[in-house]
Amino acid sequence: MIFDPHLAWQSLPQLLRGAAMTIMVTVPIVALGLCLAIPLALARLSHYRWLRAFAAAYVVIFRGTPSLILLYLIYSGLGNIEAVRASPLWIVLSKAYPCAVIGFVLVHSAYVVEILRGGLEAVPVGLIEAGQALGLSPRTLFLTVRLPVALRYALRAYQNEVLIIIKSTAAVSAITVVDLMAVANEIFYLTYDPFTPLIAAGMLYWGIINLVRGGFDLADRRLNAHLFAARPVRTTGRPAALFAVPQQGTIA
């Protein structure tokens, strides 16, 4: 098993272009995913039964389906429908990149809905009542009290989900988007070196993931500063875990 630094250095520009594509896929997924997830989380908590049912079905379907199937479904499935081909939507759907983004936005938002719902439900009732007592309109109350507090509660779970979606985007290579994973495979097929390109790509993924994780750590320290002052003393078996454990409902 040999890592060839020369080959790694030679293919670095290509790999970096791949990494740039991975980032270019991820950023709109995360941004659009959050935009889509906020109204859906509200629907999930709505007074109307049909809204709740719709949001619940959305979550069950898109959390339950592997992203690879959604990518195939959107990329090659939709193109098979005449009405889609004829519509202006085809300009978007005939290219692999938008299909990759749409597929992952559906999956990502379904997970974020549940994370946000958990955060929103954890906002203390007293805080909301205090806002109402001060005469805040429901809109202001939501935007300045409930949502920011919910985001703080949900930050760690949200971090896990974002890290997972970055790693999952490796699947976009299946629908011809040339991301980091695809570039590594291309180099393998050119050189038949099974180790160097994949290890180099792995290092770049490691760098991206840990940069994002560092960013979330900073955000956590800023937003949840009050929690860092007095972390509770553990009374159970062993010393405190050094890093947060992805627990139920947070992984992938």
Interface residues toward another protein, by CB under 8 A? 1, 60-61, 63-70, 72-73, 76-78, 80-81, 167-171, 173-174, 181, 184-185, 188, 194-195, 198-199, 201-202, 205-206, 209-210, 235-239, 241-242, 245-252
Shortest Cβ 202–another protein spacing (Å) = 5
CA–CA gap between residue 79 and residue 226 (Å, rounded): 52
CA–CA gap between residue 159 and residue 73 (Å, rounded): 28
Shortest Cβ 97–another protein spacing (Å) = 18
Question: Distances from the Cα of 5 to the Cαs of 9, 182, 195, 248, in angstroms?
Answer: 6, 20, 11, 41
- Nearer to another protein among residue 72 and residue 136 (C-beta): 72
Nearest to 154 by CA among 121, 181, 132: 121
CB 110 within 8 A of CB 55: no
Shortest Cβ 174–another protein spacing (Å) = 6
CA–CA gap between residue 30 and residue 212 (Å, rounded): 12
CA–CA gap between residue 44 and residue 27 (Å, rounded): 25
- Nearer to another protein among residue 111 and residue 142 (C-beta): 111
- Nearer to another protein among residue 66 and residue 148 (C-beta): 66
Shortest Cβ 12–another protein spacing (Å) = 17
- Nearer to another protein among residue 50 and residue 192 (C-beta): 192
CA–CA gap between residue 211 and residue 159 (Å, rounded): 12
- Nearer to another protein among residue 116 and residue 187 (C-beta): 187
CA–CA gap between residue 144 and residue 119 (Å, rounded): 15
